[in-house]
Amino acid sequence: MSGRPLVAEVLVNDAASAEEEQAVIELFDRLGVQADARRSHTHRDPGTLGWLILVALPLQGFLIGLGNSLAEDLHGGLRKLVDRALRRPRNGGSTAPLVLQDSESGLRIVLEAGLPEEAFRQLTALDLGGFAQGSLRYDQALHQWRAELDEPRA
């Protein structure tokens, strides 16, 4: 990524292990993003919180830079790093996702363990300007990113 380095604020749920936190920091470091991490001391059950690690950064700039700088085979490396960060099942086998949140609009991209490489290829080409708010999740059945609570702008 060129120009001023991107900075990401990484909020880590208390349920995340030190290894999971370190894996996410290493992921962003590898991608050229400075990750400033801190722990979230919630009083909620980690199973109801909805995320394990929340990363706030300028998403469109991050995705454009990611798409420009990564070779085709590194999409698989990104997928493996996300899987590594989310590998520990919680509450009966389910894993909480890694969430990327746009620091300007609040739009969230939910990255779950086990996403195919195609999901990461699509993500780097996605125009986030078509979504006002809400969350984007990869639909495994439809093989595409879909909005929750928001529809693409016409």
pLDDT of residue 76: 60
- Helix-strand-coil split of the chain, %, nearest 5: 35, 25, 40
Residues 6+ apart with CB under 8 A from 116: 79, 140
pLDDT of residue 126: 85
pLDDT of residue 29: 84
Question: Which helix or strand (DSSP H or E) is residue 65 part of?
Answer: helix 59-69
Q: Around 1, how many Cα atoms within 13 Å sit in the side-chain half-sphere?
A: 20
154 in any annotated domain: no
Terminal Cα distance for the chain, rounded: 30
pLDDT 10s per residue in the chain (154 long)?
456 678 889 888 887 888 888 888 888 887 788 888 889 866 554 444 467 788 888 888 777 777 666 545 455 666 766 776 666 555 554 567 888 899 888 899 998 888 888 898 888 888 888 887 789 999 999 999 999 864 454 4
85 in any annotated domain: yes
98 in any annotated domain: yes
CB 24 within 8 A of CB 95: no
pLDDT of residue 48: 45
Number of structural domains found in the chain: 1
1 in any annotated domain: no
12 in any annotated domain: yes
Instruction: Show the beta-strand stretches assigned E in 14-118.
Output: 33-40, 53-57, 98-102, 108-111
Of the candidates 57, 79, 81, 73, which has an alpha carbon nearest to the alpha carbon of residue 123? 79
74 in any annotated domain: yes
137 in any annotated domain: yes
Rounded to whole angstroms, the Cα distance separating 109 from 60 reads 11
Which residues span the domain enclosing 33? 6-148
Rounded to whole angstroms, the Cα distance separating 12 from 117 reads 25
pLDDT of residue 1: 46
13 in any annotated domain: yes
Q: List residues bridging with 101 in a β-sheet.
A: 56, 108
